[in-house]
Structure 1
Amino acid sequence: MSLRSASALTALVLATISCAATQDQNTEQLFGDIYYEIGSFSFRHTDPSVSGNKCQREVPARFFKTAPDAPIRGNGSTIHWQRIEVCCEGYVRSRYDSDQCVPDCSAVSPNNCRNGFCHAPNQCECFAEFVRNERGECVQTCPIACEHGRCYLNGTCLCDPGYSLDLETRKFCRAQCPHGCGTHQDCIAPGQCACAEGYKMTQDLGCQPVCIPDCGHGKCVGPNKCECFQGYIKRPMRNVCEAECYISCENGFCESRSNCQCRNGYKYDADTTSCLPDCGDNCQDGICVGSGVCKCFEGYEYRESNCEAICNRDCGYYGQCLEPGACGCKLTKQLCRTGLCDRNGRCVCPIGMTHFVDRCVKAMQLNELLNSNQQREYFNRQLRREFETLIGDRFHFMQQAK
């Protein structure tokens, strides 16, 4: 694989894996060559001062497979893991240069410090004549404007009905709730309360903290803050309570020393001892790289609910593209390269040619097709495929009947 194609593949994996990560954290997305921060796989280097805000992270090497029979040979701690370069914690890909990692202020500013400068992780400084409001956004202040109010020539701000000046800055107007708001609630409009960020409304207990992912064997006591039950611990770089464990168990939590409980949308993988994304039956001829996200192998593209092979010619009314660049018959699934299928699912060759294993050839070409061990091995594989396709089901049925 060339360096350029490897880089493109890394970008694609960064884009799709962590579909799961978009649920776990507020990460910047860039469209075109898309980058996401990967959510929960292992960090191997976390010193941004040494690496220019970039870190090495291990992800399952199978995410980089390009063909069904391609071997898995990662360059990580084992062959089942691949080291890739990502932005360190507290940094995201630059909107303008996807090769650069810049500080992330999304945790303290909903629009990631727009109208200001994020000079370090979660340190947002507003531009002149802008001020941070109660939501952490940089909003215009007098003499330009006054949020929920009007500016006078002397630079003072008069608030609209139902609002009053912020007591600390006196540069923007806050909504007023005369009767007050409940625990973990904010006043978001005159007389209207809602759960504060990091909390959600429950039917019985009011606004309760939210932890993503779930705390496992613990209790969520604050936004993304877990308190473990007795006998359970948190491992470094993980905010989940679990039993003492010697397996990776990424995207899940350890119920015992050797048992990994996976989160919804993930399935346990013995090679990585972790929970990998599960697409069910909707990712044949591809690799599931995120919960419900399928990356098709080379020569395939995702259509409707699965990966389908791509052919560079019309396979005819009774044919379909069965493998990349290889037409076959809909009815029998027999390969029919350079020929066309009839209504009975048989490969019909042009005049002067005969069907040989998976293609139409001239008789004089047969010796040329079998003049090397590599070619003979190829046709042996194709013969086995043809056997399974044409009569394999009947053979298995007879074996089961016995």
Structure 2
Amino acid sequence: MNRLTLPLIVVLLIWDTVRGQNVLENMMWPSYSGINAQLGMAKVTEEPCSTGDLKFGYQWKYGQDFKVALNKCCDNYRQNGDKCVAECENCLNGFCSTPNECICNKGFLKNPENDQCESNPLEQCRISCENGRCDENARCHCERGFVMGDDGRCRDEVIFCLKIMRKGKVCFTRGKKASDEVYV
């Protein structure tokens, strides 16, 4: 193996290990047998960047230490603490999974015409219609034994109430006590 082959192998192994975009530029290469590993074998003109964790540390390969510094986020990513997170334009009601790829939150659908996450009334109904079912017009209909409350939610249907002397009443629903209403 000649004097240039081993440094080239080390450079390629580190390139493969770090897997950052254009990572070689910001590495310090120690000399190996008097030959600097930065011999133009991997010409990289862009500063390295990260699409995940920002790193400051060392890689160790075949008896050599290499400083790895990924201290900036790649294009279309922004720094959030010690991580780089994808950016999307107008990703309201969703989260950015990769650059310009907005995933809609539950209850929202992506409009194919403008790529915006818009409210899905039927899904919104399903989320809030506990103890009921939603019709095709996104209206909640309460199941048997439940009635629509003033807040738009299905509540236990009161079956009967007992007046307790002059203190108020106790109401029951389907075999269980629903509430105490005390009047003074």
TM-score norm. by structure 1 comes to: 0.16
Higher relative contact order (CA 8 A, sep 6+): 2
Greater strand fraction, Structure 1 or Structure 2: 2
Of structures 1 and 2, the larger Rg is shown by 2
